[in-house]
Amino acid sequence: MANVLILGGGFGGVIAAESLARQLSKEHQITLVSHNSQFIFYPELVRLAFGKCKPTDISFELREAMLDRRVRFIQAEVARIKPNSRRVVLTNGEVEGELPYDYLIFALGRRLATERITGFYEHSHNLLTLDGALKFREALRGFHEGSAVIGQCPEARLPVPVYETAFALARWLEERGEKDRVKITVVSPDAADVEFGDTKIARALRKALAEHHIEYRADFPIDTVTPGAITTSNGHAINYSLLMLLPPFRGPGAVRGLGITDEEGFIGVDRAMRVQGVERMYAVGDCVNFGGPKLGHMAVHQAEVAAANVALEIAGFDPASRYNHDMMMVIDEGGEDSIYLHKGWWDDEPAIVRQGRFWSWAKRVHDKYWLATHS
Ligand SMILES: Cc1cc2nc3c(=O)[nH]c(=O)nc-3n(C[C@H](O)[C@H](O)[C@H](O)COP(=O)(O)OP(=O)(O)OC[C@H]3O[C@@H](n4cnc5c(N)ncnc54)[C@H](O)[C@@H]3O)c2cc1C
């Protein structure tokens, strides 16, 4: 009998647990640990902030979902990993102390390094948690005029909600007849002509922003937020009355100091999703050190690869499943400028870019289907 431990109840953890439950026979034990009792479907947080859905529409209880798939759920915080003794230290939860494992799939996501931007925590909204989205929703209710600034800090690695928030805000103000009283600016630390590593994607995005009279400021590496203004490390400043920023991303604290991460704390893995230099440990999702943006569909694909390889190892074979680092997403503009893009991160092929109202609809349908089939 093998004891498989999965850490994290996000896209990576849930898919790893489901895939393993399908592939392993009943004598093996699968346990999922997360400090949050709920799964939150992050890509819907922008719509939540704009009142298009409720928290219950975009979340489900992990314990129930896991029980249905004969996976044990433990609500607790992961404090440390001890790969040499194959143990995980849990705290603040249903189980305290050390939990042993035979195989580990690590999927604790990324840490929001708000401390790297002076004043971020005190003054900026972010849409990266349920609470953050609900607070931003409250701020929107009282916002009728002035300057709205939306953007990414250096090393934020997630442009989708930045663009979707800017488009949603523009439409929201247009519906209220308040668009002329508000200036919306999107700021990015990247160069002007490249987005997601591709000029075609950048052109499609700039055109959609221009249609909504949204200003775009590239090469804007924010380093300080004060009440009413953001400033950059290269001496520029913008005043704001409403601010939503994505902070820098870093790897999770539970693996710090183990010698398995890069300088930013992301875990080094191979294409089989095995943690380099450690036996029987896999890592998937936002916590791994692959380049480019960090996206949910990548976490899902990586989790499927890791689960397949753990099942092979348990059966006495070598890991044979391999991950391919493709970027695929929809940036929902709410109408005909919605963008679908697909680009292989490890090849030189140009991106596939499609635009149209269909993609906005397709994203809604996909999200609902995903939640219905995994809850
Ligand atoms: C607003 C927003 C919009 C997005 N839009 C898109 C999109 O359109 N398309 C797309 O593909 N991706 C999108 N993403 C990105 C996507 O949501 C992430 O890439 C994905 O959630 C990563 O999955 P993960 O399992 O690696 O980590 P997460 O989803 O972050 O899950 C980590 C899990 O670990 C738990 N955890 C963390 N630390 C601990 C600890 N110490 N102890 C115990 N448990 C812990 C957390 O509670 C959570 O359950 C969006 C993200 C956001 C925030």
- Can you spell out the DSSP letters for 294-355? --HHHHHHHHHHHHHHHHHHHTT---------EEEEEE--SSTT-EEEEEETTS-PPPEEEE
Specify the ligand 1 atom closest to the Cα of 9: 49
Q: How far apart are CA 72 and CA 29, in angstroms?
A: 8
Give the pLDDT confidence score for residue 190 in this predicted structure: 86
Taking CB atoms and a 6 Å cutoff, what residues make up the pocket around ligand 1?
8-13, 33-36, 42-43, 45-46, 77-78, 107-109, 127-128, 158, 160-161, 252, 254, 285-286, 294-297, 299, 329
Residue 191 has pLDDT above 90, yes or no: no
Give the pLDDT confidence score for residue 19 in this predicted structure: 98
Distance (Å) from CA 41 to ligand 1 centroid: 8
Q: How far apart are CA 102 and CA 29, in angstroms?
A: 10
Average pLDDT over residues 255-261: 96
Q: How far apart are CA 56 and CA 60, in angstroms?
A: 7
* Whole-structure pTM value: 0.96
Residue nearest atom 16 in ligand 1 by C-alpha distance: 296
Residue 193 has pLDDT above 70, yes or no: no
| Cα atoms found within 13 Å of the Cα of residue 130, Cβ hemisphere only | 13
From 190, 198, 123, select the one nearest 155 (Cα to Cα).
Answer: 190
Give the pLDDT confidence score for residue 348 in this predicted structure: 80
Q: How far apart are CA 273 and CA 285, in angstroms?
A: 10
User: Using one digit for the tens of pLDDT, what is the confidence trace for 226-236?
Assistant: 999 999 988 99
Residue nearest atom 18 in ligand 1 by C-alpha distance: 296
Q: Which of 5, 6, 11, 63 to mutate to test the pocket of ligand 1 (most atoms within 8 A of CB)?
A: 11
Q: Please name the amino acid found at residue 120.
A: F
User: Using one digit for the tens of pLDDT, what is the confidence trace for 303-336?
Assistant: 999 999 999 999 999 999 999 999 999 999 999 9
Q: How far apart are CA 66 and CA 83, in angstroms?
A: 25
Rounded to the nearest 10 degrees, what angle do helices 357-374 and 11-23 cross at?
50
User: Using one digit for the tens of pLDDT, what is the confidence trace for 88-141?
Assistant: 999 999 999 999 999 999 999 999 999 999 999 999 999 999 999 999 999 999
Specify the ligand 1 atom closest to the Cα of 12: 25
* Rounded (10°) CA dihedral 11, 12, 17, 18: 50
Percent of the chain clearing pLDDT 90 (strictly above): 91
Average pLDDT over residues 346-363: 92
Residue 345 has pLDDT above 90, yes or no: no
